[in-house]
């Protein structure tokens, strides 16, 4: 008989987001990503979607007290080394989450989810303002795509030169870092990360795969996982991009529409 093995608890990461019944994005993508990145994932569900490969057929917000109770429950007992937010649906939920996270000492990755991959709106119009004034100021990093940049700042990016302008406009809303995802621009996809002083660009080849459901959720969760493991922001983003690029390359068909990225690509 050998001696007792000491088991050490992995870093813990909390996602506050919506559930995706199809399993490709949202809470489901977040937890799969966290497992793949070697951290313990925990979840606060803010909304439930009826969603498949064809789109979002409906969503139901949870009451603010249910969201607050989940937050208090997890953070009060277990704690988190990083927190990621995704679909928060309504102004009152954005505010509830911002309230709690504003006084919690862990890096916060805000993915300011506005619409789904299919163009379905996932944020009430009046919640956009709450996102700008309440949640972005408590973010360590915000990870908007170009559509979300426009929704939040009215800055429209047409080419790679516009990325820094977009980042500066997002930084004005208060996050420490802005990661502007340029994947929808023509040419080689480039993401730009800046805190207003240093600037980092991440290029990836464009992959010819339409099964990209869940990319945004996956990237934000991977960044949170790396931050929980102690990475500095530029390294966390670099490693997260590497994971997501591999997952997109192996995205698979599901149902009749857009399939998900493969969260388990490193194991398959």
Crossing angle for the helix pair 26-36 and 215-228, to the nearest 10 degrees: 40
Tokens at 88, concatenated: 């928060």
Tell me how far apart the alpha carbons of residues 98 and 16 are, in angstroms, rounded to a whole number.
11
Tokens at 208, concatenated: 């010819």
Residues 171/232/100/37 CA torsion (nearest 10 deg): 120
- Please state the length of the chain: 268
Q: Give the residue numbers marked as catalytic.
A: 181, 212, 214-217
Buried b (16+ CB within 10 A) or exposed e, 22-59: bbbbbbbbbbbbbbbbebbbbbbbbbbbebbbebbeeb
Q: Closest by alpha carbon to 88, among 134, 55, 54?
A: 134
CA terminus-to-terminus distance, the chain: 34
């Amino acid at each position: 008989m050998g001696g007792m093995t000491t088991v050490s608890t992995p870093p813990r990461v909390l996602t506050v987001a919506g559930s995706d019944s199809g399993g490709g994005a949202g809470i489901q993508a977040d937890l799969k990503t966290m497992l793949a990145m070697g951290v313990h994932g925990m979840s606060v569900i803010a909304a439930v979607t009826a969603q498949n490969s064809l789109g979002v057929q409906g969503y139901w917000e949870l009451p603010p007290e249910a969201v607050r109770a989940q937050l208090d429950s997890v953070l009060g007992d277990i704690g988190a080394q990083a927190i990621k937010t995704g679909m928060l649906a309504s102004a009152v939920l954005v505010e509830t989450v911002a309230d709690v996270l504003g006084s919690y000492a862990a890096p916060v990755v805000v993915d300011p989810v506005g619409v789904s991959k299919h163009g379905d709106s996932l944020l009430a119009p009046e919640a956009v303002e709450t996102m700008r004034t309440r949640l972005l100021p408590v973010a360590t990093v915000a990870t908007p795509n170009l559509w979300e940049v426009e929704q939040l700042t009215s800055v429209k990016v047409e080419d790679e030169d516009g990325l820094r302008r977009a980042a500066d406009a997002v930084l004005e809303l208060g996050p420490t870092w802005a990661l502007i995802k340029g994947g929808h621009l023509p040419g080689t996809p480039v993401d730009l990360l800046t805190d207003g002083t240093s600037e980092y660009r991440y290029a990836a080849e464009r992959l010819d795969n339409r099964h990209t459901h869940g990319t945004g959720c996956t990237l934000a969760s991977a960044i949170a996982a790396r931050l929980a493991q102690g990475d500095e922001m530029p390294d966390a983003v670099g490693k997260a991009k590497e994971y997501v690029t591999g997952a997109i390359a192996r995205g698979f068909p599901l149902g009749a529409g857009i399939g998900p990225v493969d969260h388990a690509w490193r194991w398959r």
